[in-house]
Chain A
Amino acid sequence: MKAYKYVGKPIPRQDVSKVFGDAIYAYDVKLPGMLYAKLVGSTYAHARIKRIDYSKALKVPGVIKVFTGEDFPFKVGIYAADRDVLARGKVLYYGHPVAGVVAETPEAAEEAAELIEVEYEPLEPVLTIEDALRPDAPLIHEHMEEYRHASFIYPRPGTNIANYLKLRKGNVKKGFEEADVVVEGEYREPLISHAYMENWVGIARVLSDGTVEIWSSHQSPFAVRHLLAASLGLPIGKVVVHHTFIGGGFGGKAGLLLEHIPVLFSMKLGGRPVRLELNREENFLFMAQRAGYLFKMKTGATKDGKLIAHYGEYYLDAGAYADYTVNIGRSVGFVPTGPYEVPNIHVDSITVYTNKVPTTAFRGFGMQEMHFAFEQQIEQLAEKLGMDPLEFRLKNAIVPGKSYLPTQVRVREDAGDPAGTMKRAAELISWGKKPEKPGEPWKFRGIGIASFWKGPVQPPNAASSAIVKVNEDGSVDVLVGTGEMGQGTIYALAQIVAEELGIPVEKVRVAPIRSTDSVAYTWQTVGSRGLFSEGQALMRALDDLKNQMKEIAARVFNVFKDEIEIKDGKACVKGKPWECISLAEMALGYTLPNGNAIHGPLIGRGSHVPSQTTYLDPETGRGEPKPFMTFGTSAVEVEVDLLNMRVRVLKAVTVLDTPVINPGLALGQAYGGAVMGISIALNEELKLTKDGRLLNPNFTDYKVARAGDIPVEMVAEFLGVGQKNAPYGAKGVGELTMIAWPAAIANAIYNAIGVRIKKLPITPDNLLEAIKEQRPELLKELDKYLLGGE
């Protein structure tokens, strides 16, 4: 990669206010006269609401109002508007908010909430994918046909199916006839939680001119604005969404969260500010979590080691509201295999309602889950063929410019370097070398590898824009709608500005608090799309700005525009570096010697849409779904301890093909993604009782990785193979860094003890179960070392 001054350098993040304690999050926002809301959650997973009595609640001093579902007779949502504001008629999951109290103090709201009496008529809860699909299953959404949904979503009213996606490529029947080896498998992942550190909070008010303002913990300010306006029938220009720093998102704060609740409460209370802040337990119960998965896969290969056919039934357990998850059902449906060319594919991806907590996007958007299954299919095929799994992968890897996607379109020539990531990750994990056997005979070590790909899942018109403004001191303000949730994309964008204009990066500012009425539009901050999408818009805005700088300098020095070059923050006559005008001198335009002012303030604008992406054919899925894919391979060395049935990741390696703008930020994503992926592989599960009550809405029982759990060694590399239309070639990395860990760990466990792991999380219980089924002799062997043994 060409050496740049700022791009590609680990320049410290601008948001140092986070280390000084003065960073403002939605959690920190308080408004004068603010009221406090508290929600009351259902105590059943599925029940009719017979009666809600809140007379006692109203008597609590300081209580202003109690709302119930009947106050808000409409649905909200992004892809499938299936969400009630507060439950109406029925509750659909344990914790489903049935009422909301608004009071002068949080204490009064809490006290009143406890006094609300709800009488239920329990209904049979539907708690598994299998139960939801039974022909006689109770219907969770009885009026699905009335729901608004995006044109590319295919719900099946009269069933519990929220979306049904079909992917057809080639002739799968013929493919299996030609196959010499076939592997079938079922893989499961449970519902899990994003467990971001800032619980959701929103503070809304309505101004006397009708303007609705909200501060909330969200990823995508413009999506919140759009969905508030569309769902509540508000003029979009009168909705202002303020984006502060947010305490983690990981997809769980994409789209519209609960913003409509404080907005509606405020609208009904004369516009007074209303704050709804969830505590940790409420955040587990009221906020959408990640879907559960069941993959049924059958994959075939020929004896010369070529993938030939893949058949899949993919099921997403979306919980009570599939609003966002229907699009994840699409995501795994149209990218149903790993980064390999498979000529014949037949996949149905079915998103199913159950009486569980609603679900939404989660880092990776289904790709972690799909690869957990598919990358194990790959290994089993290789084993059956007697081939090295790495060699098998390389033989089938997508070849940019030649291969065709599962959606039948050709992969662009500059798409990246899948094979390169496989080879490099293999080197870094010492592929082919069996790890040393630990001293204790009950411990086993193994290595495993998993390759992956992912691009953003977005509508073809998912737009971005950017504005750059020059200040009188030559500093530059960048106005973009990209959310800052820790990933630091906006600071990478600042580096691009510094590089393009040749000014110190300290002179480029992206404001920490931004509002939809004062920054440029961006569809959403999701899908690892920000740098690629807003980056392209920003490059165009900078071209626009540089063009204006050249126009001014050309007039001043009386030359043609193409005789001016931009260097070190100045517009200079080529070859005469002493004939220059600096950004500061032309920030507000330029004043000629006779007093005539020209041009006026410098302001650059640029836009981006993924212009070559298309809708997908409803019967086959044919089309171009994504503007880019990032390719990568992860590899791990694990130690399996059969005495306590624990798995430890000793070494974690990630190799991505893309160049990066800031290696410090990118490594942060890589390490954070690895630890999150390992945590999901080994620990994480939302556990329910038989009647659907959530058992672990806290961090004692919902275990996320802590410092002591991280691998002994973590390595991440970026190969620098860029895509031509990406800014400096850089594609997205945020989600990519966590996709492959469960798959790589499962493959490593197989390498260590010859046991296939088809169900997450790999807790001691689940590992023991798998060993009992597949290699009970290991346990016999173990007896020798236990008390009373040999």
Chain B
Amino acid sequence: MAETITIRLKVNGVEKEVAVKPNERLLDVLREKFYINSVKAGCLRGECGICTVIMNGRLVKSCLVLAPEADGAEILTVEGLSRPGKPSVVQRAFIEKFGFQCGFCTPAFIMAAYWIVENMPNASEEEIKEILNSMICRCTGYKQIIEAIKYAIELKKQA
């Protein structure tokens, strides 16, 4: 497994070629080669969802994506949602609605929220919960996260 292959990734708009081992996880490539701090490992088997990012417009668990599978992909993480001092509507909503506590799962929930706001602007509460079911937050009880997502949808509509 010592051999490496080269893949090309566009992460938050920045395109780069990196050498990866064939069995490397996208999660580790993002953290170690693209210096993406927000993506965290929770279980490394797709159960907790706290490593969720958007890949080619879809929500994926980056611990379940092997680096070669991501060759040529566009990845979006919370680092790509905002500029310093200028939060995206989703981030603003999480801040104003107390949508986070310890924060360890927060980047993943924000990416799910962003995906919902972009793709399901008329999402019902049940539909929001269904998307969020693939990830775990042990602190919040989800209520303020759901409230933040509904609020973000409103903010987006107003904008």
Report A's interface with B, CB cutoff 8 A.
10, 12-13, 15-16, 18-25, 27-28, 194-199, 245-250, 279-280, 485-488, 664-665, 667-668, 671-676, 698-700, 704-708, 710, 714
Which of B50, B95, B130 lies at the interface centre, i.e. has the most chain A CB atoms within 10 A of its CB? B95
User: In the bound complex, do residue A25 and residue B136 qualify as a contact, i.e. CB atoms below 8 Å apart?
Assistant: no
In the complex, residue of chain A having the shortest beta-carbon distance to the beta carbon of B39 = A21
User: In the bound complex, do residue B140 and residue A668 qualify as a contact, i.e. CB atoms below 8 Å apart?
Assistant: yes
User: In the bound complex, do residue A28 and residue B144 qualify as a contact, i.e. CB atoms below 8 Å apart?
Assistant: no
User: In the bound complex, do residue A21 and residue B77 qualify as a contact, i.e. CB atoms below 8 Å apart?
Assistant: yes
Q: Which of B96, B105, B129, B144 contacts A668 (CB 8 A)?
A: B144
Interface string of B123-159 (1 = CB under 8 A from A): 0000011101101111111111110000000000000
User: In the bound complex, do residue B40 and residue A247 qualify as a contact, i.e. CB atoms below 8 Å apart?
Assistant: yes
Residues of chain A lying within 8 A (CB to CB) of residue B41 = 27, 199, 279
Query: Complex formed: what's the CA distance from A765 to B94 in Å?
Result: 39
User: In the bound complex, do residue A487 and residue B78 qualify as a contact, i.e. CB atoms below 8 Å apart?
Assistant: no
Query: Complex formed: what's the CA distance from A12 to B93 in Å?
Result: 10
User: In the bound complex, do residue A667 and residue B144 qualify as a contact, i.e. CB atoms below 8 Å apart?
Assistant: yes
User: In the bound complex, do residue A707 and residue B102 qualify as a contact, i.e. CB atoms below 8 Å apart?
Assistant: no
User: In the bound complex, do residue B79 and residue A21 qualify as a contact, i.e. CB atoms below 8 Å apart?
Assistant: yes
Is residue B47 contacting chain A, with contact meaning CB distance below 8 A?
yes
Query: Complex formed: what's the CA distance from A19 to B101 in Å?
Result: 10
User: In the bound complex, do residue A675 and residue B142 qualify as a contact, i.e. CB atoms below 8 Å apart?
Assistant: yes
A776 to chain B, nearest CB (A): 35
User: In the bound complex, do residue B104 and residue A198 qualify as a contact, i.e. CB atoms below 8 Å apart?
Assistant: yes
Is residue B56 contacting chain A, with contact meaning CB distance below 8 A?
no
Query: Complex formed: what's the CA distance from A15 to B99 in Å?
Result: 12
User: In the bound complex, do residue B146 and residue A707 qualify as a contact, i.e. CB atoms below 8 Å apart?
Assistant: yes
Q: Which of A19, A676, A704, A714 contacts B110 (CB 8 A)?
A: A19
A105 to chain B, nearest CB (A): 12
In the complex, residue of chain B having the shortest beta-carbon distance to the beta carbon of A714 = B143
Given the contacts A197-B104, A699-B47, A707-B146, A13 and B98 also touching, CB distance less than 8 Å: yes
User: In the bound complex, do residue A19 and residue B78 qualify as a contact, i.e. CB atoms below 8 Å apart?
Assistant: yes
A371 to chain B, nearest CB (A): 19
Q: Which of A198, A668, A704 contacts B101 (CB 8 A)?
A: A668
B95 to chain A, nearest CB (A): 5
List 8 A-B pairs, Cβ < 8 Å.
Answer: A19-B95, A195-B138, A197-B137, A247-B105, A486-B103, A706-B133, A706-B135, A706-B136
Q: Which of B42, B79, B95, B107 contacts A16 (CB 8 A)?
A: B95
Q: Which of A21, A248, A488, A665 contacts B107 (CB 8 A)?
A: A21
Is residue B87 contacting chain A, with contact meaning CB distance below 8 A?
yes
Query: Complex formed: what's the CA distance from A25 to B39 in Å?
Result: 12
Given the contacts A19-B87, A675-B141, A710-B141, A197 and B136 also touching, CB distance less than 8 Å: yes
Query: Complex formed: what's the CA distance from A700 to B40 in Å?
Result: 19
Query: Complex formed: what's the CA distance from A459 to B132 in Å?
Result: 42
Q: How many A-B residue pairs have CB under 8 A?
A: 168
5 nearest A-B pairs in the assembled complex, by CB-CB distance: A21-B38, A18-B103, A247-B104, A486-B102, A486-B101
Residues of chain B lying within 8 A (CB to CB) of residue A13 = 95, 98, 100
Given the contacts A21-B36, A21-B79, A195-B138, A485 and B143 also touching, CB distance less than 8 Å: no
Query: Complex formed: what's the CA distance from A487 to B144 in Å?
Result: 14
Is residue B7 contacting chain A, with contact meaning CB distance below 8 A?
no
Which of A194, A674, A675 lies at the interface centre, i.e. has the most chain B CB atoms within 10 A of its CB? A675
Q: Which of B43, B78, B103, B142 contacts A247 (CB 8 A)?
A: B103
Q: Which of B87, B96, B98, B102 contacts A197 (CB 8 A)?
A: B102
B131 to chain A, nearest CB (A): 8
Q: Which of B43, B102, B143 contacts A245 (CB 8 A)?
A: B102
Residues of chain A lying within 8 A (CB to CB) of residue B133 = 706-708
User: In the bound complex, do residue B139 and residue A248 qualify as a contact, i.e. CB atoms below 8 Å apart?
Assistant: yes
Q: Which of B106, B138, B139, B140 contacts A19 (CB 8 A)?
A: B106
Is residue B16 contacting chain A, with contact meaning CB distance below 8 A?
no
Query: Complex formed: what's the CA distance from A250 to B138 in Å?
Result: 9
Q: Which of A20, A199, A486 contacts B79 (CB 8 A)?
A: A20
Q: Add 15 more A-B contacts to A12-B98, A18-B100, A19-B78 (CB < 8 A).
A: A19-B100, A19-B103, A25-B40, A197-B136, A248-B101, A248-B104, A279-B41, A280-B44, A486-B139, A665-B98, A667-B98, A668-B98, A671-B143, A707-B146, A708-B130
Residues of chain A lying within 8 A (CB to CB) of residue B36 = 21
In the complex, residue of chain A having the shortest beta-carbon distance to the beta carbon of B42 = A197
B28 to chain A, nearest CB (A): 10
Residues of chain B lying within 8 A (CB to CB) of residue A675 = 140-143
User: In the bound complex, do residue B101 and residue A664 qualify as a contact, i.e. CB atoms below 8 Å apart?
Assistant: no
Interface string of B62-94 (1 = CB under 8 A from A): 000000000000000111001000010001001
Given the contacts A19-B110, A20-B91, A706-B132, A197 and B105 also touching, CB distance less than 8 Å: yes
A32 to chain B, nearest CB (A): 15
Q: Which of A21, A28, A197, A667 contacts B78 (CB 8 A)?
A: A21
User: In the bound complex, do residue A674 and residue B141 qualify as a contact, i.e. CB atoms below 8 Å apart?
Assistant: yes
Is residue B18 contacting chain A, with contact meaning CB distance below 8 A?
no
Residues of chain B lying within 8 A (CB to CB) of residue A22 = 37-38, 79
User: In the bound complex, do residue A707 and residue B142 qualify as a contact, i.e. CB atoms below 8 Å apart?
Assistant: yes
In the complex, residue of chain B having the shortest beta-carbon distance to the beta carbon of A713 = B143
User: In the bound complex, do residue A248 and residue B138 qualify as a contact, i.e. CB atoms below 8 Å apart?
Assistant: yes
Query: Complex formed: what's the CA distance from A485 to B107 in Å?
Result: 16
In the complex, residue of chain B having the shortest beta-carbon distance to the beta carbon of A671 = B141
Query: Complex formed: what's the CA distance from A340 to B75 in Å?
Result: 57
User: In the bound complex, do residue A10 and residue B79 qualify as a contact, i.e. CB atoms below 8 Å apart?
Assistant: no
Residues of chain A lying within 8 A (CB to CB) of residue B43 = 279-280, 698-699
Residues of chain A lying within 8 A (CB to CB) of residue B94 = 19
Query: Complex formed: what's the CA distance from A15 to B91 in Å?
Result: 12
Residues of chain A lying within 8 A (CB to CB) of residue B33 = none
Residues of chain A lying within 8 A (CB to CB) of residue B55 = none
Residues of chain A lying within 8 A (CB to CB) of residue B99 = 19
Q: Which of B37, B87, B106, B141 contacts A676 (CB 8 A)?
A: B141
Q: Which of A18, A248, A671, A706 contacts B144 (CB 8 A)?
A: A671
B90 to chain A, nearest CB (A): 8
Q: Which of A23, A668, A673 contacts B103 (CB 8 A)?
A: A23
